């Protein structure tokens, strides 16, 4: 596969759902493959809570020439959600009014805002009706939001290891804020330039290690390496690397965006067929979510099916054991997004 094209789309004056606005909007994104003349061969990939737009890194077994998401056929677009820390406008971005990072002053954003920013990017790229939108974890919220906000703009929706209601509560946000507040250099969230010395980076690494374990990444590493000690070392290395890249204020802002998020009342607005994929051992989005979700989909008139990945890898299964859901994904794309 040819190397992805990494670029940043910008525009001025981006209005936010809750009434605020960003004076400048930036959306970092990558593309793979070639856009068809009619702009209708696009698959939009939406990443997870702490993920990024480098989709071929974390879903490289699915995306590429001759793979399920075949870049000889599809033009794949993966963008970093706003509020995140991988190039799109977020708390670490410079506030043009002050000349310093927004930090805790970053305006409140919603999942709908993230989708609105993606829509502007796709318009800029000349994308027509999308072949499909595929969202993993947090990206599943964006996928469903796309379905209700732009119901006729895609031929298929694939929601992977996600849910209809946001995993965000005021208590969860407060817990995050309190953990960082214990860092000596927190300074009310105005710590930029002193992340390492102020303990912010260490706290991020600690939180990341907990997250990777809750995702089942430790189990997948042990299975792959056959060595528990080496798996632990690699897990800790992953946590440290991520902590050096990510931003504590982004972690908080993205969690806040899920408080009260519930797409259930609007499911009737979805027009595209939908594939719902869960993992048998996922503790974040357990397979027990599927039956009630399918009832809601059917009641709303949504053409939906689901598949449970039989894996011990928990939330990480859609990535580490991709082959266990490759067949239903391929069939769905062939029938709905071709």
Considering the candidates 47, 150, 307, 315, report the single residue annotated as catalytic.
315
From 155, 80, 81, 153, select the one nearest 111 (Cα to Cα).
81
User: For the purposes of burial, counting CB atoms within 10 Å of the CB of 123, is it exposed (0-12), middle (13-18) or buried (19 or more)?
Assistant: exposed
Q: Is 318 helix (H, G, I), strand (E, B) or coil?
A: helix
227 alpha carbon, distance to own chain's centre: 30
What is the distance of C-alpha 258 from the center of its chain? 12
Is 307 known to be catalytic? no
Q: Which two tokens stand for residue 81?
A: 């959600």
Q: Residue 45: beta bridge partners?
A: 78, 134
Active-site choice (79, 84, 93, 137): 137
Active site residue 137: yes
Query: Is 282 one of the catalytic residues?
Result: yes
Give the separation between CA 55 and CA 4, rounded to whole angstroms. 10
DSSP state of 260: T
Contacts of 180 (CB under 8 A, 6+ apart): 186, 189, 200, 203, 248, 252
Catalytic residue among 84, 279, 282, 307: 282
Q: What is the DSSP string of 187-249?
A: GGG--TT-TTTTTHHHHHHHHHHHHHHHHTHHHHHHHHHS-HHHHHHHHHHHHHHHHHHS-HH
Residues annotated as catalytic (active site), given as ranges: 137, 282, 315
């Amino acid at each position: 596969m040819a190397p992805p094209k990494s670029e940043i789309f910008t525009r001025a004056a981006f209005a936010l759902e809750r009434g605020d606005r960003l004076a400048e909007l930036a959306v970092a994104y990558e593309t793979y493959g070639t856009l068809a003349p009619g702009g209708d061969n696009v698959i939009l990939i939406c990443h997870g809570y702490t993920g990024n737009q480098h989709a071929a890194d974390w879903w490289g077994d699915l995306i590429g020439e001759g793979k399920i998401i075949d870049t000889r056929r599809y033009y794949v677009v993966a963008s970093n959600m706003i509020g995140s820390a991988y190039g799109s406008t977020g708390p670490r971005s410079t506030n043009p009014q002050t000349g310093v990072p927004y930090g805790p002053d970053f305006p409140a954003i919603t999942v709908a805002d993230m989708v609105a920013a993606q829509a502007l990017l796709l318009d800029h790229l000349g994308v027509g009706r999308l072949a499909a939108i595929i969202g993993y974890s947090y990206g599943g919220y964006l996928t469903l939001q796309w379905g209700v906000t732009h119901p006729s703009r895609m031929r298929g929706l694939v929601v992977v290891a996600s849910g209809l209601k946001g995993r965000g509560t005021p208590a969860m946000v407060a817990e995050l804020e309190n953990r960082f507040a214990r860092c000596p250099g927190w300074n009310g969230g105005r710590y930029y330039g002193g992340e390492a010395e102020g303990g912010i980076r260490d706290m991020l690494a600690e939180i990341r290690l907990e997250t990777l374990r809750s995702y089942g990444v430790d189990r997948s590493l042990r299975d792959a390496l056959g060595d528990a000690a080496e798996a632990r070392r690699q897990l800790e290395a992953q946590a440290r690397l991520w902590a050096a890249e990510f931003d504590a204020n982004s972690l908080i802002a993205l969690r806040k965006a899920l408080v009260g998020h519930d797409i259930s009342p609007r499911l009737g607005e979805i027009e595209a067929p939908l594939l719902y994929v869960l993992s048998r051992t996922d503790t974040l989005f357990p397979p027990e979510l599927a039956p009630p979700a399918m009832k809601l989909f059917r009641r709303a008139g949504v053409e939906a099916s689901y598949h449970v990945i039989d894996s011990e890898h928990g939330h990480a299964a859609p990535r580490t054991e991709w082959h266990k859901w490759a067949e239903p994904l391929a069939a769905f794309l062939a029938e709905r997004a071709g």
